[in-house]
């Protein structure tokens, strides 16, 4: 029995030694295979590396212009908040918001409107930026001129000439424009500080800054118009209710609500920065935001080396299979 255990132990040790030895042989063989075809690996690495260099040089510089904003204080919300506890039900019938968190909700609403399809489509049409959005090829910093892709847009005739299949048309639709614009714009609010950042990426730093400024102006204007329209409708409703009631207490409440809506309209008309107040305006960036050409070249070199090793090993494997 004891001899049998010793023999078993000896066999296990021998088997273990054989496995380790076999692994070492495999690694050695792998190294020999790679070394034998080292010039093929070097060739593939070189080709992919050179291709990555040309790709990096071909990519145009993209500039990022951004503005730092703060939520504009809704001064009229203080009076409304004082009425919220007693007359919230009546105010809600008139469409009057008596919430104490009006500023926060209005800011979040403005950000969602800014990212919406309707606002983006109206923004593109209003400022006629479709060619600069969908057909730009490069930007010349010497004369601040834009070069358009001649296969997409003829700048001389102001005509779209791209070849597409139905249901698409030579001129990009607003759905296509929205998808492209969504990739260029960033609009976020910092939850800790409450600061809002709006940025645009574009091959032209001048256009990037211009679009950021237009976005801020337009979103303030749109939100102002929405609030003025709502306040006007609420005032009209409250005025009709005032004419129909004879109870003194209710008439007093209605007068106060009408007064608050009048303040809302006055506040909107005298203030340009209605929702967003600019803290740090957008500038024309001097340094590119992307691409990182060095990283592209490094990634190309590593990818080329990896492909070279895979090809050499696969070649040897299929050769042995035969």
pLDDT band, residue 19 (cuts 50/70/90): very low
Three-state secondary structure readout of 12-26: HHHHHHHHHHHHHHH
pLDDT, tens only, 59-108: 889 999 999 999 886 544 444 444 444 454 554 544 445 444 455 688 88
Mean pLDDT of the chain: 82
Q: Can you tell me the distance from the alpha carbon of 106 to that of 222, in angstroms, rounded to the nearest whole number? A: 12
Place of tokens 């203030």: 271
Instruction: Compute CA distances 171 → 150, 156, 162, 290, whole Å.
Output: 14, 15, 8, 28
The mean pLDDT value for 220-232 works out to 89
**Other C-beta atoms within 10 Å of 309: how many?**
18
On the CB side of 276, CA atoms within 13 Å amount to 34
Query: What backbone torsions phi and psi does residue 171 show, to the nearest 5 degrees?
Result: -85, 125
Q: Which two tokens stand for residue 38?
A: 């080292």
In the chain, where do the E strands start and end?
63-71, 136-140, 145-148, 153-154, 159-160, 185-189, 196-202, 276-280
The sign of the dihedral angle between the CA atoms of 81, 83, 85, 89 is negative
Q: Can you tell me the distance from the alpha carbon of 126 to that of 138, in angstroms, rounded to the nearest whole number? A: 24
pLDDT, tens only, 192-222: 888 999 999 999 999 999 999 999 999 999 9
Predicted pLDDT of residue 218: 95
First to last CA, the chain: 48
User: The pTM is what?
Assistant: 0.76
Share of the chain above pLDDT 70, in %: 81
DSSP string for 181-237:
HHHHEEEEE-TTT--EEEEEEES-HHHHHHHHHHHHHHHHHHHHHHHHHHHHHHHHH
Query: Per DSSP, what are the bridge partners of residue 280?
Result: 68
Predicted pLDDT of residue 313: 85
Higher pLDDT, 248 or 140: 140
């Amino acid at each position: 029995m004891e001899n049998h255990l010793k023999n078993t132990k000896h066999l296990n040790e021998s088997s273990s030694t054989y496995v380790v030895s076999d692994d070492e042989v495999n690694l050695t063989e792998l190294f020999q295979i790679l070394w034998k075809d080292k010039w093929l690996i070097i060739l593939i690495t070189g080709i992919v590396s050179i291709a990555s260099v040309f790709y990096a040089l071909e990519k145009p510089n993209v500039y990022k212009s951004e503005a730092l904003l703060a939520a504009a204080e809704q001064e009229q919300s203080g009076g409304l908040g004082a009425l919220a506890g007693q007359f919230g039900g009546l105010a809600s019938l008139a469409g009057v918001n008596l919430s104490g968190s009006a500023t926060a909700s209005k800011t979040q609403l403005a950000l969602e409107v800014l990212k919406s399809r309707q606002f983006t489509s109206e923004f593109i049409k209003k400022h006629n930026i479709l060619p600069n959005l969908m057909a730009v090829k490069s930007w010349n910093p010497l004369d601040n001129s834009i070069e358009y892709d001649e296969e997409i847009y003829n700048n001389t005739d102001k005509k779209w000439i791209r070849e597409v299949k139905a249901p698409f048309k030579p001129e990009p639709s607003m759905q296509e424009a929205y998808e492209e614009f969504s990739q260029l714009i960033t609009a976020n609010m910092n939850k800790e500080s409450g600061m809002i950042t709006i940025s645009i990426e574009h091959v032209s730093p001048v256009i990037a800054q211009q679009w950021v400024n237009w976005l801020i102006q337009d979103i303030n204007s749109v939100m102002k118009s929405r609030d003025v329209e709502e306040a006007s409708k609420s005032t009209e409703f409250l005025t009709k209710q005032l004419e129909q009631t004879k109870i003194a207490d209710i008439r007093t409440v209605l007068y106060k609500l009408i007064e608050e809506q009048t303040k809302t309209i006055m506040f909107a008309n005298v203030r340009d920065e209605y929702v967003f107040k600019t803290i740090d305006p957008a500038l024309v960036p001097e340094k590119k935001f992307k691409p990182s050409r060095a990283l592209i070249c490094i990634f190309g070199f590593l990818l080329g080396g990896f492909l070279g090793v895979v090809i050499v090993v696969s070649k040897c494997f299929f050769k042995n299979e035969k």
